[in-house]
Amino acid sequence: MKKTILFLIFTVIISFVANIKTFAKDIVPIRPNIAQVNTIGMYQVGNDITIYAEPDENSQILYRVRWNEDEFFPAEIGAENFFVVLLPKKSLALVSVMDYDDDWVEIMYNNSTGKTGWIKKDDPYKFMTWIGFYNTYGKKYGLTLLKSSPEFCNNLKASPEDLAKTISTINHPQKINLSIIRGNWALISVFDMDKTPKTGYVRWRSDDGVRYFFPELKPAP
C-alpha cells in the first residue's frame, strides 16, 4: 500500500515538474502564423496584464493575464498562444499588436484564434513596428527561415522583386545575416555548410503579412 502511495506521489511530482519545464521553455515562432497577418508590430508586456474589451478602463475586462517562469494564467489561453516571443531570462515578453493610440494598444491575446483586446500602455517606447523589430533584433541576431515556409523563400534574388533573377539558393544555412529591409524584402548574407557567403534578396513576408523569416533569438546562457 505504501509503495503504491509513494508511486502515485512520485508520478504527480514528475508530471508537475514536466509541466513547469514545458512553460519555462523559451517561446519563439517556429512556423508562419496566418492569424497574425493583420498585426502591425509587437508590444513588450510585463507579468501582470489586464485586457479590456475597449480602450477604456470602464469597459469589460476580458482577462487578467499573469505569468512567471513557472506558470501562466489563465490556462485557457496558454503561454504559447499569448506570446509571440518570451525569453524570461532576457526579460523579453512580446505580444502582437493590431492597433494603438496615445494611451492604449490593441493586442492579439490568442495567436491561435486571432482574438483581440486592449491593454493600457505603460511605456510608449515598448511598441515596435514589425520592421523596427526586425531592424533591431534581426540585425543583432540574424534570421532563421521558419519551418513550412514556401520553397521560393530559399531563392536569393538580384533585386527585391518576384520576377528578379535568382542568383543563388539557401541550402543548409549556418548563419543568415540581415543587412536591410525594403518593404516585404530583406537583403541578407547567408553562410551555408560549405562556408561560401551568398548575398541577395529574399521575401521575409508575403504581401498580406505572413512572415517567413524571423530573428534568431537565442536564450540567455
**DSSP state string for 135-150:** IIIIHHH-EEEPTT--
The reply to whether 146 and 178 lie within a common domain is yes
The reply to whether 118 and 63 lie within a common domain is yes
Quick one: pLDDT at residue 70? 87
Quick one: CA dihedral 140, 144, 149, 152, positive or negative? positive
- DSSP secondary structure code for residue 205 in this structure: B
The reply to whether 190 and 163 lie within a common domain is yes
- DSSP secondary structure code for residue 83 in this structure: -
Residue 198's beta-bridge partner residues?
190
The structural domain count of the chain equals 2
Q: Which of 73, 105, 122 is the last residue of a domain?
A: 122
The reply to whether 115 and 139 lie within a common domain is no
CA atoms within 13 A on the CB side of 19: 10
Quick one: pLDDT at residue 221? 55
The reply to whether 92 and 13 lie within a common domain is yes
Quick one: pLDDT at residue 190? 95
Of residues 211, 146, 204, the one with CA closest to residue 178: 204
Quick one: pLDDT at residue 1? 55
| 221 residues of the chain, pLDDT tens digit each | 555 444 444 444 444 444 433 445 789 999 999 888 999 999 999 999 999 999 999 999 999 999 998 899 999 999 999 999 999 888 899 999 999 999 999 999 999 999 999 999 999 899 999 999 999 999 999 999 999 999 999 999 999 999 999 999 998 899 999 999 999 999 999 998 877 889 999 999 999 999 999 999 875 55
Quick one: pLDDT at residue 69? 85
The reply to whether 13 and 111 lie within a common domain is yes
The reply to whether 174 and 73 lie within a common domain is no
Cis peptide before 32 (omega within 30 of 0): no
**Is 221 inside a domain boundary?**
no
Quick one: pLDDT at residue 24? 52
The reply to whether 117 and 208 lie within a common domain is no
Quick one: pLDDT at residue 14? 43
The reply to whether 33 and 91 lie within a common domain is yes
The reply to whether 36 and 117 lie within a common domain is yes
The reply to whether 142 and 112 lie within a common domain is no
Burial of 75 (0-12, 13-18, 19+ CB in 10 A): exposed
pTM: 0.84
The reply to whether 20 and 102 lie within a common domain is yes
Give the angle subtended at the CA of 132 by the CAs of 47 and 189, to the nearest 5°: 120
Quick one: pLDDT at residue 82? 97
Question: Which domain, by its residues, includes 175?
Answer: 131-215
